[in-house]
Amino acid sequence: MNYIWYFLIAVSIIFGAINGTLNEVAGAIFSGTELAVKIVLTLLGIMTFWLGIMKIAEKSGIVKFLSRILRPIAKIIFPQLPKDSSVIGDIAMNFSANALGLANAATPIGIKAMESLQEINKDKDSASDSMCTLLAMNTAGFQLIPATVIAILAANGCKNPTIIIVPTLIVTSITFICAILLAKFFQRIFPPQKSYEVNSDD
């Protein structure tokens, strides 16, 4: 990514020199950096507020409550897993945290779920079907509350930044469903692996 930015800056300077507009290029650089600092400072306060709200939801048990509701759905999405496996609970918790915008909480839960899936994966050199499905779910990024986008809109002077919630919910729902369907589609193309062993602790 750094190389791309270096390339864009170099191209801008070269074309500015050719067209005799280096002053405009320099002015755009300074105004852009000034705007970036303003946005960052504004985001700091807004993100602190939203993350505080989400942390309250986590501590109050809302995330765990959602994970209990979503556990039966997780069993349907991950039929390869042993029945009543503790991994299903981790997957449901990971989805719930992501949906509420709790990225800091979702990441360690997702890593724990992946580690648990790897423990019961007989083929240690290849990702199992469930591991690929979980990765697709996290990549799709389903969100009920897009806190970061709301913060950016507010930082840029949007009068109603929460208006993005419904469109984001629609888009992330579509991408989430498509990610799961594509994962299942490719699992059908490639022979299913008998890649799980039931642990006595599950």
What are the pLDDT digits (tens) for 115-170? 888 888 877 778 888 888 888 888 887 887 777 777 778 777 788 888 888 888 89
pLDDT surpasses 70 at 195 = no
In a domain, 13, yes or no: no
Q: How far is CA 72 from CA 43, 44, 77, 86, 177, in A?
A: 37, 38, 9, 13, 17
The model's confidence at residue 74, banded by pLDDT at 50, 70 and 90, is confident
In a domain, 106, yes or no: yes
Please give the pLDDT value at position 202.
47
Structure token digits, residue 80: 């390869």
Q: Can you tell me the distance from the alpha carbon of 28 to that of 22, in angstroms, rounded to the nearest whole number?
A: 10
Structure token digits, residue 168: 């984001």
Q: Can you tell me the distance from the alpha carbon of 112 to that of 33, in angstroms, rounded to the nearest whole number?
A: 39
What domain count does the chain have?
A: 1
In a domain, 113, yes or no: yes
In a domain, 85, yes or no: yes
The rounded mean pLDDT for the chain is: 78
The model's confidence at residue 174, banded by pLDDT at 50, 70 and 90, is very high
In a domain, 128, yes or no: yes
In a domain, 201, yes or no: no
Question: Helix, strand, coil proportions of the chain in percent (round to 5)?
Answer: 75, 0, 25
State mean pLDDT over 39-63.
Answer: 69
In a domain, 166, yes or no: yes
State mean pLDDT over 6-31.
Answer: 82
Give yes or no for a contact between 146 and 168, defined as CB atoms under 8 angstroms apart. yes
DSSP 54-110: HHHHHHTTHHHHHHHHHHHHHHHH-TTSPTT-HHHHHHHHHHHHHHTT-HHHHHHHH
* Greater model confidence, 176 or 195: 176
State mean pLDDT over 102-126.
Answer: 79
CA angle 109, 114, 120 (to 5 degrees): 130
What are the pLDDT digits (tens) for 24-34? 888 888 888 88
Please give the pLDDT value at position 178.
93
**Domain that residue 74 falls in:** 60-189
Q: Can you tell me the distance from the alpha carbon of 183 to that of 197, in angstroms, rounded to the nearest whole number?
A: 21
What are the pLDDT digits (tens) for 75-96? 888 887 776 677 877 788 788 7
In a domain, 19, yes or no: no
The model's confidence at residue 46, banded by pLDDT at 50, 70 and 90, is low
